[in-house]
Amino acid sequence: MAKMRASGKKSVSIKDVAKLAGVSVSSVSRYLNGGSNVSPVSQKKIAQAIETLNYRPSALARALVREINPAIAVVTINSSQLGPTQMLGGIESRARERGASITISVPETDRREDILNSLHMAADQNPLGIIFMYPDMVDENISDFFPLEGPYVMVTGQQTMGAHEVSLCDQEGGEIITRYLLSLGHKTVYHVAVPVRLEYNRRLQGWRKALENTGSYIPDPIICGWDPEDAREIGRRLALNDDVTAVFAGNDELAIGLISGLRDMGKRVPDDVSVAGFDDHPLSGFWDPGLTTIHQEFIRAGRESVDLLLRQIPQYQEDVNSVVAGESGEETGVSKKSLDIHGKLVIRNSTGAPHKEK
């Protein structure tokens, strides 16, 4: 590849082979891995394209030919929640398209020593690189012990380290949804928070910032577990406080639990209390009433994290960038180290203006 650059010729990528052969990039990757699940017709087309273009597989592709399974190690906290589950799906699909596999490790607890152990075990497997999902759910100083000497990407609620991160902009989302509730005429917004340390809870920080900037009363946040039944009990308690007219829950499952609790006590949503969630769970639009929430692109975050990781591998940069540029319609530079994926406000029937007193 270096000789081709020196002679002024354009390097040939796996995308070029796929385009000439009229097949997908993943089909070329599977062909290089021995032809598994590639039809004889496609195999012939790919072989002809490789010969015509004089394609020289990258180091990763040569590893595939040698039947070494290049894997991306994923370390994730709380994989049972919607966000991590969907992101894992995005990571797996993108890795497969790139000819790689993934391994998944879930630390036994969210304690520093357990996370460190999982990261070291992942690094010991000599993967292509490591994707660490939600380090800011643990400690902002995770970089103190994260193995940064190899390729890595962190998927975060908010950028903290400024490099090799895919951020879901949770603080911005928390601020947006709180401002929306205030714009409806509510004097303040109560917050039922997910069980993340307050100093690292970006959604809570966005909620607080919106209240501070508008001069609104800031009630104490209510910390909830992950179980919607816990939120249901909180909803029953909040129903006893007539000052509560709007509640922002840290995720949609908790918002649904809150609505159930409010209804248990005779409160109507949104007539008596507006309730908003976060994440845009696939069932949020089918709940009665449909849930106002922040839509998060979790699957995209997973897929982008794979591309961000592979751009750090010199032998693989060109293939990744050409494919990404082809998919997005715009050029993507290899120097790109971080990406913000902004949430979008989805307005449904669970929120409305507060009832005027008679």
Distances (CA, A) of 322 to 25, 148, 168, 318: 11, 26, 25, 6
Rounded distance between C-alpha atoms, residue 295 and residue 304, angstroms: 17
Identical fold for domains 2-65 and 170-295, yes or no, is no
List CB contacts of 210: < 8 A, sequence separation 6 or more: 174, 175, 178, 179, 182, 189, 216
**Looking at the domain that runs over 170-295, which CATH code has it been given?**
3.40.50.2300
Contact (CB, 8 A) for 350 and 260: no
| pTM for the structure as a whole | 0.74
List CB contacts of 171: < 8 A, sequence separation 6 or more: 157, 158, 202, 203, 205, 206, 209
Q: Give the DSSP H or E segment for 131.
A: strand 129-133
Q: Which CATH class is domain 71-168+297-310?
A: alpha beta
Rounded distance between C-alpha atoms, residue 349 and residue 326, angstroms: 39
Closest CA relative to residue 353, chosen from 173, 120, 187: 187
What is the topology classification, in CATH, of domain 2-65? 434 Repressor (Amino-terminal Domain) (1.10.260)
Closest CA relative to residue 195, chosen from 246, 239, 145, 254: 254
Per residue in 133-153, pLDDT (tens digit) is: 876 655 555 555 565 567 889
Phi-psi region of 63 (alpha: psi -120 to 50; beta: other; left: phi over 0): alpha
List the chain pLDDT tens, one digit each, 358 residues: 233 233 334 567 777 888 899 988 777 777 776 655 678 888 889 889 888 887 766 545 544 444 444 789 999 877 778 888 999 999 999 998 888 889 998 888 777 778 878 888 888 788 888 998 876 655 555 555 565 567 889 888 877 666 788 999 999 999 999 999 999 999 999 999 998 877 778 999 999 999 999 999 999 999 999 999 999 999 999 999 999 999 999 999 999 999 999 999 999 999 999 999 999 999 999 999 999 999 999 999 999 999 999 998 876 665 555 445 434 433 333 346 889 999 999 999 999 999 865 3
Domain ranges of the chain: 2-65, 71-168+297-310, 170-295
Buried b (16+ CB within 10 A) or exposed e, 318-353: bbbbbbbeeeeeeebeeeeebbeeebeebebebbbe
Per residue in 7-51, pLDDT (tens digit) is: 334 567 777 888 899 988 777 777 776 655 678 888 889 889 888
